Structure 1
Amino acid sequence: MTDSLDISVVVPLLNEEESLPELQDWISRVMEEKGFQYEILFIDDGSTDRSWEIISQLAEKSPHVKGIRFNRNYGKSAALNIGFKNASGQVVITMDADLQDSPDEIPGLYDQITKDGFDLVSGWKKKRYDPIMKTIPSKFFNFVARKFSGIKLHDFNCGLKAYKRDVIKAIDVYGEMHRYIPFLAKGQGFVKIGERVVQHQARKYGETKFGLERFIFGFLDLLSISFVSKFKKRPMHFFGSFGTLSFFIGTIITFWVIGRKIYEIQMGLPARDVVAQPLFFLALVAVIIGVQLFLAGFIGEMMTQTSTKKSDYLVSHKIGLSK
């Protein structure tokens, strides 16, 4: 039966007990109006309120509702990653649980994947109901992300996205990389990435779980994923190149300093002491750094060949899914 599902809706959440019944009802209403075969996967990222209890109650009432609960808070990336691994739909929709993403957008996103042939479609909250301290840093962050990734999206961090099933099964979302899923998808060869203007609503319950520090971490993650996407499978190309360059520069300078002293002695000129020259020590440092970088690249290559992936988060409960 799972193979016949049209849509899986993956909803990561943390302490959203008030919004869950309304969100589930809204999603189900849209799905049934359009005649979709669907499932809703609520991923409880270690909530400390009644969120898991609410999910359990919803699952008892509806066979479409499934749930996964972490034993503690691991972050949105971990929640999405395990949601992707358990999703069965041909199209996977992600959205936040705070009711700011509208389930009414699901049919349009689904059509862009199934009819227009996109691998991934990202929502664009063109009109936002967020405070200015959140919107201004977000605009700057998205500008930098576009430049780094080469992907022309206005809103990388929008939680409302649609994916072809092949995409979410081909990527691993880790750390805080949920902001850069389009970048991860592009790195796996899924280059048909689209965008859709979506309705954004004011938060109805509770408070946002994200602070301004996410933008600082976001830029660090952007640098990290830029590096990993280019050199994950070939670390020697990065470390080896810089190591070789540093080694040869240091070696050339060292021989030049020593050669100049020999020349001065042969010509009867006042010979400067080699070890008294700062340039000589800088050259030695360059040689040492070059060797270290080369070895780092070599070790990285060995680790790449022998590494095995494993999740570092624990699931404490599941509903409606195989154990």
Structure 2
Amino acid sequence: MRFVFKPLLLITFSLIVISCQNKNPIETPVVIYEDSTAIREKIQSAREGVSAIVADGLKLSLWATDSLAPDPIAMDMDNAGRIYITRSNRNKNSEFDIRGHRDWMTASIGLQSVEDRRAFLHETFAPEKSKENSWFPDLNNDSIHDWQDLAVQKDEVWMLEDSDGDGIADKSTQILNDFNDEVNDVAGAILVRDEDVFVGIGPDMFRLKDTNGDKILDEKTSIATGFAVHIGFGGHGMSGATQDSDGKIYWGIGDIGANLTTVDGETHKYPNQGVIVRSNPRWKQF
């Protein structure tokens, strides 16, 4: 028997989309501290439960416990040695996997844009269909099971740090709690720079800033939009955000697709394919 492997199509092109800029409400940050006794106990437990072979000259040790970094998706580090992670709540209910909704498959494949997907969700979860959608939780507690329940759960960005300099993280701060549009995917990409943070969560790549020095990301701008066109496999969203020596931001998305328009008005439609894109890091072209 002969097997033929067909690789995922990856398209690379320059992209920048001008988008609106808005500020999030300033909130008191959630901060988690872990005391030294609990950390030592977890370190000992980790040592007993992990068997790994590392190369000569390298050492494997626990830096942060799961209490400080629950269910991380994407991770990056800043120049001060702090670790940033994304964490999703939407994947529990609001980000669907097509394998659990096979009756949606034909309609989903036919979607050509993010707005098509929004219209599909509004139709599928219309208020008048509340009874047949009673399987989906009433997340906004209005006694109706409809698309507005998809706009409740949020994703998060946490900053982990070693505040006492002993080589073990002991503090975790939630620096962002956002992204609850009904068409949002999960926050699968993060890139941290000295002056800003980028978070990729379909349908947008966002540039976020701390405007008052408290480490909380209180300003966000979409630098590119049009990702996550159809409902596919969970975990096939935006990921791999990085910056190259040219100063531009690169990232990819899996086969849940993209329908993108550049500032020059050029449209790139790949609704059922994976792509790699490149964008200027700011909302206006250099």
TM-score (norm 1): 0.21
Q: Which has the higher contact order (CA 8 A, sep 6+)?
A: 2
Q: Give 1 or 2: higher strand fraction.
A: 2
Q: Give 1 or 2: higher helix fraction.
A: 1
TM-score (norm 2): 0.23
